């Protein structure tokens, strides 16, 4: 009899243990924070339990989160924000990778369903998808980087790309030995035209006789095309190429390094974009990265995430980061090639921009007028 009671007691304890485990097991599951397809998530509400309940997600443009350029800069900023608040990837912040334009809307919707409080769209190509999805989920906060989208629950993060590119043009003009420089863009769009216009203006301001060749690859994820365009430019005696082409620019660096491998004495350089691309230009004890037009994309993502967390989300506002507030600028990592003289020339023109003495063109029409006035 005693044995039967003991067996029944042990069985009861085991059943209770299994019940408790089942009740508590959901704490580690993503399902706990997942929203539904009908948009009834709590993404835009302020939690009474504190900032630990706040989460931020981002959707990349094509090119990958490790594109060594725009997407990567944004992701590094989101990682820094997560680290700042003691979070881990997947537990407070994460990203969704877009491999084509058709992935933008599904990725944004997935982020909403997973209850991220703020969702970033990285790159102007996500503008239409952000507008549509944000309209469906007015309680979720969204931010678009490098574009302007209207909406009370959308913050638009922009940069004075033309100003930073003007300084890149100043650096290129002071470095070229052949008086021939090049610009390689991703897609021929209003945004990348800002980079082109600023760069050409900077070059021509220093020396109107320098030739500037401009070509567009047609994509931000076509390194083979970037390599081909760069090959032709270097063959035509261009010795400095500024690229604004995302992962396509990886091909530009690859071509410059190939040339250096075959002819270590040849003086050619690449000007990187969005983040300091000094590492991309390293080849032996030399480096083909003259400088990079750095956009503090990561800083802006981190800053806007904190604003949203603290209840100060700039919904409906357009934020612009320029040379005056260090939103854009040039990297000086390559101390051997980015000389003191070049740095001083760049600083001089930077101050002129800040003081309003130079109104850097942003479009082809503005560039034509600017050049006519030189």
Is residue 75 included in any domain, yes or no? yes
Q: Find out whether 222 and 250 touch, Cβ atoms under 8 Å.
A: no
Same domain? For 301 and 234 the reply is no
| Domain span including residue 87 | 50-159+296-328
Is residue 31 included in any domain, yes or no? no
Instruction: Please state, in angstroms and rounded to a whole number, the distance separating the CA atoms of residues 122 and 62.
Output: 9
Query: CB neighbours (10 Å) of residue 187?
Result: 16
Is residue 92 included in any domain, yes or no? yes
Is residue 38 included in any domain, yes or no? no
CATH code of the domain containing 74: 3.40.50.2300
Residues 6+ apart with CB under 8 A from 197: 162, 165, 360, 361, 362, 363, 364, 366, 367
Decide if pLDDT at 40 tops 50. no
Q: What digits encode the pLDDT tens for the residues 41-64? A: 333 333 333 346 899 999 999 988
Instruction: Please state, in angstroms and rounded to a whole number, the distance separating the CA atoms of residues 158 and 168.
Output: 19
Decide if pLDDT at 273 tops 90. yes
Is residue 44 included in any domain, yes or no? no
**Residue of 118, 174, 157 whose CA lies nearest to 299:** 157
Is residue 30 included in any domain, yes or no? no
Decide if pLDDT at 145 tops 70. yes
Instruction: Please state, in angstroms and rounded to a whole number, the distance separating the CA atoms of residues 134 and 141.
Output: 8
Q: What percent of the chain has pLDDT over 90?
A: 83
Decide if pLDDT at 210 tops 50. yes
Q: Please give the pLDDT value at position 64.
A: 86
Same domain? For 242 and 301 the reply is no
Q: What digits encode the pLDDT tens for the residues 8-30? A: 344 444 444 443 333 443 333 33
Q: Give the angle 87-91-95 at the CA atoms, nearest 5°.
A: 100
**Residue of 343, 342, 374 whose CA lies nearest to 358:** 374
Decide if pLDDT at 33 tops 80. no
Same domain? For 277 and 236 the reply is yes
Same domain? For 152 and 200 the reply is no
Query: CB neighbours (10 Å) of residue 207?
Result: 11
Lowest mean pLDDT among 13-27, 219-233, 282-296: 13-27
Residues 6+ apart with CB under 8 A from 215: 182, 183, 184, 185, 229, 233
Decide if pLDDT at 32 tops 70. no
Q: What percent of the chain has pLDDT over 70?
A: 86
Q: Please give the pLDDT value at position 52.
A: 62
Dihedral angle computed from the Cα positions of residues 160, 165, 168 and 170, in that order, rounded to the nearest 10 degrees? -100
Lowest mean pLDDT among 6-10, 32-36, 133-137: 32-36
Same domain? For 172 and 283 the reply is yes
Q: What digits encode the pLDDT tens for the residues 304-363? A: 999 999 999 999 999 999 999 889 999 999 999 999 999 999 999 999 999 999 999 999
Give the pLDDT band of residue 268 (cuts 50, 70, 90).
very high
Lowest mean pLDDT among 61-75, 101-115, 298-312: 61-75
Is residue 354 included in any domain, yes or no? yes
Q: Please give the pLDDT value at position 17.
A: 45
Is residue 132 included in any domain, yes or no? yes
Same domain? For 200 and 113 the reply is no
Same domain? For 204 and 228 the reply is yes
SS3 content of the chain, % helix, strand, coil (to 5): 45, 20, 35
Same domain? For 363 and 219 the reply is yes
Number of domains in the chain: 2
Q: What is the mean pLDDT of residues 179-192?
A: 97
Same domain? For 55 and 153 the reply is yes
Q: What is the mean pLDDT of residues 103-132?
A: 97
Q: Find out whether 161 and 292 touch, Cβ atoms under 8 Å.
A: no
Decide if pLDDT at 247 tops 50. yes
DSSP 3-state assignment of 115? coil
Same domain? For 275 and 186 the reply is yes
Same domain? For 174 and 290 the reply is yes
Q: Please give the pLDDT value at position 70.
A: 87
Same domain? For 75 and 133 the reply is yes
């Amino acid at each position: 009899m005693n044995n039967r009671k003991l067996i029944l007691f042990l069985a009861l304890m085991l059943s209770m243990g299994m019940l408790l485990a089942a009740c508590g097991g959901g704490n580690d599951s993503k399902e706990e924070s997942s929203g539904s397809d009908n948009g009834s998530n709590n993404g835009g509400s302020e939690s009474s339990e504190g900032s630990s309940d706040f989460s931020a997600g981002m959707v990349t443009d094509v090119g990958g989160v490790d594109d060594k350029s725009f997407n990567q800069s944004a992701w590094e900023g989101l990682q820094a924000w997560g680290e700042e608040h003691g979070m881990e990837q997947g537990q407070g912040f994460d990203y969704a990778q877009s491999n084509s334009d058709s992935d933008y809307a599904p990725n944004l919707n997935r982020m909403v369903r997973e209850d991220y409080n703020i969702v970033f769209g990285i790159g102007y190509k996500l503008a239409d998808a952000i507008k549509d999805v944000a309209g469906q989920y007015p309680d979720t906060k969204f931010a678009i980087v490098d574009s302007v989208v209207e909406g009370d629950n959308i913050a638009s993060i922009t940069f004075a790309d033309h100003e930073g590119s003007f300084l890149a043009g100043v650096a290129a003009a002071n470095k070229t030995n052949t008086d021939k420089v090049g610009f390689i863009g991703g897609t021929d769009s209003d945004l990348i035209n800002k980079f082109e216009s600023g760069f050409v203006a900077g070059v021509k301001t220093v020396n109107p006789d320098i030739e500037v060749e401009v070509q567009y690859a047609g994509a931000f994820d076509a390194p083979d095309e970037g390599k081909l365009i760069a090959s032709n430019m270097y063959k035509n005696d261009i010795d400095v190429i500024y690229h604004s082409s995302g992962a396509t620019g990886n091909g530009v660096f690859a071509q410059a390094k190939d040339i250096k491998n075959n002819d270590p004495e040849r003086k050619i350089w690449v000007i990187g974009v969005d983040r300091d691309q000094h590492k991309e230009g390293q080849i032996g004890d030399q480096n083909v990265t003259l400088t990079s037009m750095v956009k503090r994309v990561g800083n802006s993502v981190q800053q806007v995430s904190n604003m949203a967390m603290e209840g100060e989300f700039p919904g409906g506002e357009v934020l612009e980061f320029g040379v005056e507030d260090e939103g854009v600028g040039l990297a000086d990592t390559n101390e051997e090639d980015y000389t003191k003289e070049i740095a001083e020339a760049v600083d001089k023109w930077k101050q002129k921009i800040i003081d309003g003495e130079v109104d850097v063109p942003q479009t082809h029409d503005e560039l034509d007028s600017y050049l006519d006035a030189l």
